[in-house]
Amino acid sequence: GAVVSQHPSWVICKSGTSVKIECRSLDFQATTMFWYRQFPKQSLMLMATSNEGSKATYEQGVEKDKFLINHASLTLSTLTVTSAHPEDSSFYICSAMTGNQPQHFGDGTRLSIL
Amino acid sequence: TQLLEQSPQFLSIQEGENLTVYCNSSSVFSSLQWYRQEPGEGPVLLVTVVTGGEVKKLKRLTFQFGDARKDSSLHITAAQPGDTGLYLCAFSNDYKLSFGAGTTVTVRA
């Protein structure tokens, strides 16, 4: 149980385009979802916390207008990287939790901006 | 600000050897979690330690939580190539996870 699915797993796009990443909790309802970014050889850094039906809370230094988060249902959150540039290339990972249970992580999305 | 320091950053050992990864802080934690992450995948929770002095075992992995709840260690006995991965400690604050820098473990066959 507690499966979190991310899509796509890998995306390459041109600089200036927008990219949407989906995060789904497949077998449970996630009251809260989190988005992380991980650069090569580094740890996970929390970008934002999203609760269903409300605005996401962004960590310091993360541009909310660049990283749009929508959490429209208890099983789906999306992260849209707007006007992506090469420096946005990274591994984006979501996690989902319900109640006070541990977070369950997706398998990540490798984003490469050319 | 609570910070977690992990050491070593990299560890490369031969199959059958033992290894220990450390996670330290100047802050006291209500709990600490250990994760393992393989390349191209998300982290997977290995264990949560809650009680000071606690020792938990997961097959060949032994996790300890310091008496003062400021530090933790992960010990792997007789490491195997399948143990290769990035090991992360993390603490939870208001449901948000903060991770240590991670230890990249490579076990050579």
What is the residue-level pLDDT of chain A in tens, covering all 114 positions? 679 999 999 999 999 999 999 999 999 999 899 999 999 888 999 999 998 888 899 999 999 999 999 998 999 999 999 999 999 999 999 999 988 888 999 999 999 999
Interface list for A 14-53 with B (CB within 8 A): 32, 34, 41-46, 49
Phi, psi of B34 (to 5 degrees): -120, 135
Mean pLDDT of B8-31: 94
B52-66: per-residue pLDDT in tens? Answer: 999 999 999 999 999
B88 inside 8 A of chain A by CB? yes
Note the pLDDT of residue B82: 95
Note the pLDDT of residue A101: 85
Find where tokens 């449901």 sit.
Answer: B95
Note the pLDDT of residue A1: 67
Cβ atoms of B106 and B81 closer than 8 Å: no
Note the pLDDT of residue A25: 94
In this prediction, residue B1 has a pLDDT band, given cuts at 50, 70 and 90, of low
* CB–CB contact B42 A106 (8 Å): yes
* CB–CB contact A44 B40 (8 Å): no
Distance of CA B66 to CAs B19, B35, B53, B55, B97, Å? 18, 18, 5, 9, 20
Name the residue among B40, B43, B96 with its Cβ closest to that of A46.
Answer: B96
Note the pLDDT of residue A2: 78
Query: Chain B contacts of A106, Cβ < 8 Å?
Result: 42
**Given a cut of 70, is residue B33 above it in pLDDT?**
yes
Look over chain B and give the mean of its residue pLDDT values, rounded to a whole number. Answer: 94
More confident residue, A91 or B94: A91
Name the residue among B40, B42, B96 with its Cβ closest to that of A49.
Answer: B96
What lies within 8 Å, CB to CB, of B17 at 6+ separation is B78, B79
**Given a cut of 90, is residue B49 above it in pLDDT?**
yes
Which of B46, B95, B98, B103 to probe the A interface (max A CBs under 10 A)? Answer: B95
